[in-house]
Structure 1
Amino acid sequence: MRNSDPTLPPGAPPAAGAYTVPRTDPATPDGVGAVPGPSAAPDRVHAVASPPLVTHRECPAPHVLPGCAQSDGLSPASRYGELFVDVQHSGLFADSKTFPDCIPNCDPELIVTRYREQRATPGFSLADFVQAHFTRASVPESHYVSDPASTLHAHIESLWPVLTRKPMAHPPRSSLLPLPHRYVVPGGRFGELYYWDSYFTMLGLAGSGCGDLLLEMVQNFAYLLDTYGLVPNGTRNYYLSRSQPPVFILMVDLLEREQVARAIDFLPQLRREYAFWMDGAQGLRPGHAHRRAICLADGVVLNRYWDDRCCPREEAFLEDMQTAMYSGRPHHAVFRDLRAAAESGWDFSSRWLDTPAAAQPANLGTIRTTAMLPVDLNALLWHLETRLAELCDQAGDADAGDYRAAAQRRKEAIMQTMWDDAAGAFVDYDWCRGEPRRCLTAATVMPLFLGLAQPAQAQAVAQAIAARLLDQGGLATTELTSGQQWDHPNGWAPMQWLAVRGLARYGHDTLAREIAQRWLATVASLYTHECKLVEKYRIEPCGEHAKGGGGGEYPLQDGFGWTNAVASALMALYGDVAATCRVDVGDADSGGQPGHPLS
């Protein structure tokens, strides 16, 4: 087991007997009120069993796909109860995600019955029982053995078929959610469709002329919205209590720009996603919250990340248990904030933690994701509101005015609470403490990417990221080094793309090119020496050639969907030569007017 909390000794195990069989309490919103009050930490941590699908109260009945094997209606922890807990504590699998992804060889209820009958018998072997009743999902150590003679571009092109999955590959009675169309997975341990990863993956597919696959990907997300009322974090039933950054509108806009489909064709699903994020917002009193909606003192509603469950993540069971045990906080609150960080896609980062003192490691047990109003999330929802207004106008829908007014209110609130004039950057806002966060993160580029920033703000952001986030190998995700994988010295492909296109949109072409060249040189350096692309990279100087990033709850993954796609898209913009050079840090160039289209 990998230790996810840097304050603990390496390999420190969770306390024995610290987890009991999940009870059948319903998942509760637990978000109404100003700040959740403290509660005593329980002697034994319990899981809250999830409902069959999701807790979102407006979720429609699930569709049935003709001829397609259906997933189990209950997540693995709810379905297998004490068997799930015992397997996760047993150390049978090095990765907590392995057992939730296993495929039952017979009816799950029969498996549970047999386990209860046999576990107390002499000579019982848990390992033998699991091997007899489950098939482990195939997770190859490497998805692809590359040809060392292939160029980086050719290697990326050859990977798309390897990472593409077909609907008939869905096994019966497993945690995998069935989908009606083909899709592309990230790679490695991530063998299912993931939400925000897929937008960046689609950028690469668009450049490769895969318009049919682009459309199928978007149709899958539309199916998820129609079936479950949200796009889940990933297509596993244990992800159905949370989503990820709402980029479905960006996918739909990409289809329209590629002339594959019209954005207006997906208006019902766009409205459904907006309703998911705004659930409970109507009628909220100032200073109160409900799920993902927060009403500020002036009555304006902004949004946070959330998860409807407050138990350990099934795919990171031991890691979450360990974090809660050593946190000194109510365990349910820790679990909720860990899950909410997973909804952000930034799992994990000092962005969500109490800022540590100098030279002290960030303590994951201090995570406070639900207390933060993230600037990137709210910028995306502003963009969704703006596009909903435009699409409703096209459709002759009377709701256009309501969406337009909501977008204007959100824009004003973002400028008031999330623009830090002294820092010259957009920042997250701690709504519980009533103050902005001071640590600069790469999320500051999202308002530029979406065209929300004013030109003077874009100029200030360009100067801030050049001074505080730019490193030899690309753009850092945060300026703090904490041991968490979404902090310095790691760099991630999606943030390079958002920064490059956001800066270019406002005329900061020199800095945009600088970031692109540095990142491409990093990706090309590791590919030249190891013949692969990986999930994240170390961007500080690290020897003769680039290295993969560290930290996190699992080993570095090969593949890798969004890395491939962003590298391909940046090479299309700046040429393959950008992947073979390193350049000196340039000054943030003078500001320009917004106007470059999103790419």
Structure 2
Amino acid sequence: MRQTGSLIRRLVLATLAATTLTAARAQDVTPADLYGPLFEAIQTGKVFPDGKTFVDAVPRRPVAEIMADYARDRPQGATALRAFVEARFIIPGDTPVPDGAQVAQGLPLKAHIAALWPVLTRPALEPVEGSSALALPSPYVVPGGRFREIYYWDTYFTMLGLKADGQDALVESMLENFEALITEHGHIPNGARTYYLSRSQPPFFALMVGLSERKDAVSRRTQLAAMQGEYAFWMKGAECVAATGACDHVVRMPDGALLNRYWDARDTPRDESWAEDVATASEAEGRPAAEVYRDLRSGAESGWDFSSRWFDDPQDIATLHTTEIVPVDLNSLLWTLERTIAAHCRALAERACVRDFDHRAGARKRAMNRYLWNASERRFGDWDRRTGRMTSSVSAAGLYPLFTGWANRSQARDTARQTEAVLIAPGGLRTTALTTGQQWDAPNGWAPLQWVAISGLDRYGHRATAETIGTRWLGTVDRVYRETGKMLEKYDVEQQRPGGGGEYPLQDGFGWTNGVTRVLLDRYPDVVSETAPTMP
């Protein structure tokens, strides 16, 4: 009786939340909040193979009516629950191709990428009540597959390819979407869904601004306001950080300097991976579940979800401690944000802003050199708050100081040597040196990290190493394309085949692979044959 009473109370609370939704900001409410016990029953029972399916579903009726139906009918078991949901929601599919669209087959690789842009482009969006989608005022490109919305850091690498293909208008419209998200929500979320609002992703917005053709004073002021808004989101914790502690995204280092970490504002299972997170927390002996959930969510904010980079035991995800790590990639990107804000202020003759952000960038660079560079091992890496030293993880994240340009020549030379010795594989750049079954570890290679490495190494004159990575990566992508007809989310760079691991099946589409491959085809034009492949 106690359990029944508890369920009834939760149903009443969920129904009340639904009826008052229009009086509150709908975007602040995730599907877990909104659908309460219905959501939990669906995710616990694994009604859909992918936990993201239900949270992306669009209700056919008002939320309050759906919850009243659930309180009345109380469907039991996966079959009954699925029938209940399908009668009341539009269930999304996993195809990257919208209804009625066709992807031409048998095209050369560059032409295939050009043909994919309209397939992956979506119109401006005004979501219906009860949907998890966020409003977007302009057209945008999605990655593909289960990733049906615009994603933050994916978009920068997609933009590279769009620029190469002359799609400047689409680049600008996606920038407009991100400016709108910052205005509406105070930051760019992980993706344009309510359940992603509690976190962001690696802050590439300043680099996206660098791709914009809008250079007039009005546009610069709009861009500056958006960048300052994003910066305020990442630095909000500076107001509450203790002398040697951490608050929100901000960490005070032992010498008093401020650096940043990944941090999700919630400490519950992720809506889109609820069952997986509950299982991981149950295996984390001696740790509060909320702590594990926060670290899982923060690992998702990093984009590296998941990697031994965040683990105490490289083979055990339950040992992750993302929020205790000060990452080299995040801080490198925030240095770029500070520098770009200063540059915009300089162009607009805002001298106090220039002084402020030049000072902030200088202080961050000094702190990164102290804590994120290991002089004895001659490498960049992440710093662990618990141990007071850099972690042992050797990863592609160590190339971000070259990519963003704050490394010195000696550091860049040592990084190039380590990359050649440890990270370069037959098919491109390894993500880490360890094979764990996690998707952000060996043997997988990812398009964004290839570009970070190639661009960074090339910036410091290590062009041969950059070319080795670029040409091997192109060879892998082309080989898999000729075998499958697809552009994939990730690749096995050891065997030059489709990648694996992670929480979900391999996705095709695929936004950032298209973007990076397209720009590399121009950089290394003699690697891939222009002849059309024979499709399987």
Establish whether TM, by shorter chain, passes 0.5. yes
| 1:114 CA displacement | 1.7
The structure 1 residue matched to 2:466, chosen from 512, 523, 540, is 512
Structure 1 residues 375 and 126, CA gap change in structure 2 (3 angstroms): same
Structure 1 residue 134 corresponds to structure 2 residue 92: no
The answer on whether the counterparts of 1:21 and 1:85 sit within 8 Å (CA) in structure 2 is: no
Aligned length: 514
CA distance in 2, matches of 1:291, 1:73: 18
* Greater displacement, 158-167 / 247-256: 247-256
CA distance in 1, matches of 2:338, 2:302: 19
The answer on whether the counterparts of 1:211 and 1:258 sit within 8 Å (CA) in structure 2 is: no
Structure-1 residue corresponding to 2:135: 178
CA distance in 2, matches of 1:538, 1:257: 38
Correspondence list, 1:391-430, <5 A: 391-397=344-350, 398-430=352-384
| 1:580 CA displacement | 5.3
* Greater displacement, 204-213 / 386-395: 386-395
The structure 2 residue matched to 1:578, chosen from 518, 527, 530, is 527
CA distance in 2, matches of 1:110, 1:159: 39
Correspondence list, 1:30-49, <5 A: none
CA distance in 1, matches of 2:9, 2:466: 50
SS at match of 2:53: coil
The answer on whether the counterparts of 2:117 and 2:141 sit within 8 Å (CA) in structure 1 is: yes
Structure-1 residue corresponding to 2:119: 162
The structure 1 residue matched to 2:436, chosen from 478, 482, 493, is 482
Structure 1 residues 294 and 168, CA gap change in structure 2 (3 angstroms): closer
The answer on whether the counterparts of 2:443 and 2:493 sit within 8 Å (CA) in structure 1 is: yes
SS at match of 1:138: coil
CA distance in 2, matches of 1:411, 1:22: 53
Q: Deviations over 1:99-126 (max 9, x none)?
A: 1111111111221122112217999932
Structure-2 residue corresponding to 1:533: 487
Structure 1 residues 258 and 448, CA gap change in structure 2 (3 angstroms): farther
| 1:168 CA displacement | 4.7
Structure-1 residue corresponding to 2:501: 551
The answer on whether the counterparts of 1:418 and 1:427 sit within 8 Å (CA) in structure 2 is: yes
Structure 1 residues 22 and 307, CA gap change in structure 2 (3 angstroms): farther
CA distance in 2, matches of 1:196, 1:526: 24
CA distance in 2, matches of 1:124, 1:173: 23
Q: Deviations over 1:385-406 (max 9, x none)?
A: 1121222222232222121111
Structure 1 residues 428 and 265, CA gap change in structure 2 (3 angstroms): same
Amino acid at match of 2:322: T
| 1:286 CA displacement | 2.1
| 1:439 CA displacement | 1.7
Structure-2 residue corresponding to 1:33: none
The structure 1 residue matched to 2:330, chosen from 377, 384, 402, is 377
Q: Deviations over 1:118-147 (max 9, x none)?
A: 217999932322122111023227678654
The answer on whether the counterparts of 1:449 and 1:505 sit within 8 Å (CA) in structure 2 is: yes
SS at match of 2:527: helix
* Greater displacement, 129-138 / 291-300: 129-138
CA distance in 1, matches of 2:29, 2:463: 50
Correspondence list, 1:66-465, <5 A: 73-119=28-74, 125-140=80-95, 146-168=103-125, 170-256=127-213, 263-282=220-239, 284-328=241-285, 329-356=287-314, 362-397=315-350, 398-465=352-419
| 1:257 CA displacement | 8.9
Structure 1 residues 262 and 105, CA gap change in structure 2 (3 angstroms): closer
The answer on whether the counterparts of 2:145 and 2:508 sit within 8 Å (CA) in structure 1 is: yes
SS at match of 1:81: helix
| 1:91 CA displacement | 2.3
Correspondence list, 1:12-31, <5 A: none
| 1:20 CA displacement | 8.6
Structure 1 residue 469 corresponds to structure 2 residue 441: no
* Greater displacement, 222-231 / 429-438: 429-438
TM-score (normalised: structure 2): 0.91
Amino acid at match of 2:83: D
Structure 1 residues 164 and 147, CA gap change in structure 2 (3 angstroms): closer
Q: Deviations over 1:308-364 (max 9, x none)?
A: 0000000001111111111112110110000000000000000000144xxxxx111
Q: Deviations over 1:362-386 (max 9, x none)?
A: 1110010000000010011111111
CA distance in 2, matches of 1:124, 1:524: 42
Structure-1 residue corresponding to 2:519: 569
SS at match of 2:331: helix
CA distance in 2, matches of 1:153, 1:505: 25
CA distance in 1, matches of 2:364, 2:28: 37
The answer on whether the counterparts of 1:22 and 1:78 sit within 8 Å (CA) in structure 2 is: no
The answer on whether the counterparts of 1:232 and 1:239 sit within 8 Å (CA) in structure 2 is: yes
Q: Deviations over 1:237-296 (max 9, x none)?
A: 000000001111000011149999954541001000000000020363321111000111
CA distance in 2, matches of 1:512, 1:200: 17
Q: Deviations over 1:430-485 (max 9, x none)?
A: 01221101121001111101110001110000000000000000000100111000
Structure-1 residue corresponding to 2:533: none
SS at match of 2:413: helix
The answer on whether the counterparts of 1:372 and 1:430 sit within 8 Å (CA) in structure 2 is: yes
CA distance in 2, matches of 1:437, 1:497: 24
Q: Deviations over 1:157-185 (max 9, x none)?
A: 00000000001574553101110000000
Structure-2 residue corresponding to 1:500: 454
Amino acid at match of 2:499: G
CA distance in 1, matches of 2:284, 2:9: 21
CA distance in 1, matches of 2:177, 2:301: 19
CA distance in 2, matches of 1:347, 1:123: 28
Amino acid at match of 1:391: H
SS at match of 2:301: helix
CA distance in 2, matches of 1:161, 1:457: 42
Structure 1 residues 579 and 132, CA gap change in structure 2 (3 angstroms): same
TM-score (normalised: structure 1): 0.81
Percent identity between the aligned chains? 45
Structure-2 residue corresponding to 1:584: none
Task: Extract unaligned runs of 5+ from structure 2.
Answer: 12-16, 531-536
SS at match of 2:436: coil
SS at match of 2:239: coil
